[in-house]
Structure 1
């Protein structure tokens, strides 16, 4: 895909932000464009007040952007970088925006479309647009991404809060503020609910292409150990690395076999979209949910809208965004006291929303089996 001017401008801004001052000739080499294009880009950004021109070079302004305050004067501008604006992150963004508005701050957003190599450039664009602090949800999709794409976050020159992400223990991001859902707790309450309904070890069907999916997989292992459950039940891949009908069908057929063999009477599945598809496919194969298989899904984005409403673990997405924005605004407005205050790792607990797919009546108190007359 051909790079557009906006993306190239973001890369240029990121280069200048990291180096302070860069010759236009060097920008052309770094951006792999002609000297004429580099000069025009530099002039355009300087004209917008995003860079300073200095004798054949450009430099990062001493100020943090062209405006620095929200309308009304004195209110902080906070930037938010998210990998997507829909599905899971829509509520996080909404929570952050509502909290920022309530606190008199202005929130500006950039969406990276799950391209971790572009995150740093998007962050530079937010800073150039006047952001005085950042809420960052990096576009990590693979287990190695937190290590590969952590250094640029640690070098950011403004207060930053990680959102729904955690760095490697002992890594450069470990001492940063962060707000996230406690997915291990979410998995635990789902597994425990199914066990209290009379099931053995639930089968896990989970993706592996996001930090949430990876946390769900780890949480499942921890939940089985905590509850003393049989860990020999296979974990099934609900969405293969190269998406296609083959991988999904293989998971459905494997689950069908486990049900028919009596090895599985319950399942936990990440995420809602995959779970909805799986319920339909299992029905075609002769397995009824919840009659033959109790099912809980993870995310609770569209779970209630399935033909058979799905019991779901609901991470507190809106509260995560709200808490992250509140923490960042507090840092920005507290002066020296805010800078000296201890850093915080906030983990918010997901809830279990009981519906029809697990075999308990909707509204049944958590962990209590439905009763019949």
Structure 2
């Protein structure tokens, strides 16, 4: 049976007082617990003022330990390469993201490359899109020594809702928003930020389809932090190019029960009702609305939709030309799909560089203007 947390922490405290200092990894092995568990204990004990912690080392009060490894970090997510200890290098950069998979895998990779190349260390906290977890992870990283934050808040629309997100502008360290934005007048609008210009990405897709001769183009996207900007760019491009508007999106609950039953087993990436509603919408848009092309967000939804469209008599690409958005797996479809690819890796890299520059300026007593950087997505056309 595992020892009770109070007993375990008492044992840790006794060993640290006896030895003066102890390395987290070595102490975890000696106690037979995981480093993640020990870091949580260390965080709680430090918060109570029982011990000191710095980069990978804990010590009794009054000692002079050698560096701290931020807690609240996904195992394996933080950089651990040579030269990343605080005593041997620069600052610790905390990065709060919803996940390190799919879209954000490249964002994190780009940030990590720049952070480590400049002699700093990256520590990643995950939110799993849980409400309020972004603030919890940010505070946890700060409590364990992060000098600056790369922050992707859990804003369902990609931008803060009413009364949401003001805390991001009150953080005590330089902070860069990543793939999120705040409207003028919102406190978070004063932060540096780097994001993909999803509106431009949608417009690129519309322009390409229009150049191929399509006059009526549909947008199919579930509600995500990206969808609002996609809709803005899509509508602007349709108006600018003088295209005919596609049929209006169906109201919630319009999906047929038969379609919902078909979609329910498709995959865990889409709930049955939204997926079925998208399927019904595209079928009706082609059969009754004169639509001949669609921008579908995301790749995974498009790959699941295409065989179901074909099963209901909509041939792809003969009846419906498809461009997907994200370009994570579009080339892996049965017939590789053309796709719009946000510059995910570059977003992470630019955000990390912006934050490190901000920290260097602050250390030198400088304070340059805030920056809002939008990176344009790329359209990859596949035959």
Provide the residue aligned with 2:367 in structure 1: 340
CA shift digits 1:115-148 (9 cap, x unpaired): 1312111111111221100000011114774443
Contact persistence 2:96–2:150 (CA under 8 A):
yes
Q: What TM-score do you get using the length of structure 2 for normalisation?
A: 0.73
Aligned counterpart in structure 1 of residue 281 of structure 2, from 254, 263, 283: 254
Give the number of aligned pairs.
304
Equivalent in the alignment of 1:49: 52
User: Are 1:175 and 2:186 matched, yes or no?
Assistant: no
Structure 1: runs of 5 or more not aligned: 6-39, 52-64, 356-360, 362-373
After superposition, where does 1:40-119 map in structure 2 within 5 Å? 43=45, 45=47, 46-49=49-52, 66=68, 70-71=84-85, 72-119=87-134
CA distance in 2 between partners of 1:217 and 1:236 (Å): 15
CA deviation after TM superposition for structure 1 residue 339, in Å: 4.3
What is the rounded CA distance, in whole Å, between the counterparts of 1:105 and 1:324 in structure 2? 14
Question: What RMSD, in angstroms, separates the aligned Cα atoms of the two structures?
Answer: 2.9
Q: Which of 128, 137, 153 is the equivalent residue of 2:152?
A: 137
Shift of 1:332: 1.0
- Secondary structure class of the residue paired with 2:190: coil
Match of 1:151 in 2: 166
Any idea what the Cα deviations from partners look like across 1:264-286, whole Å, max 9, x if unmatched?
A: 11001111111111111111112
Which aligned pairs between 1:251-290 and structure 2 lie closer than 5 A? 251-261=278-288, 263-290=290-317
Q: Deviations over 1:280-333 (max 9, x none)?
A: 111111222111110001011111111111111000000000000011111112
SS of the equivalent of 1:173 reads helix
SS for the counterpart of 1:296 is strand
**Any unmatched runs of 5+ in structure 2?**
6-41, 55-66, 71-82, 255-263, 265-269
1:174 shift after superposition: 1.0
Give the 3 Å change call, closer, same or farther, for CA 143–83 of structure 1 in structure 2: closer
Contact 1:180 1:347 in 2 (8 A): yes
Cα drift, residue 337 of structure 1: 5.4
Whole-angstrom CA distance in 2 between matches of 1:320 and 1:299: 14
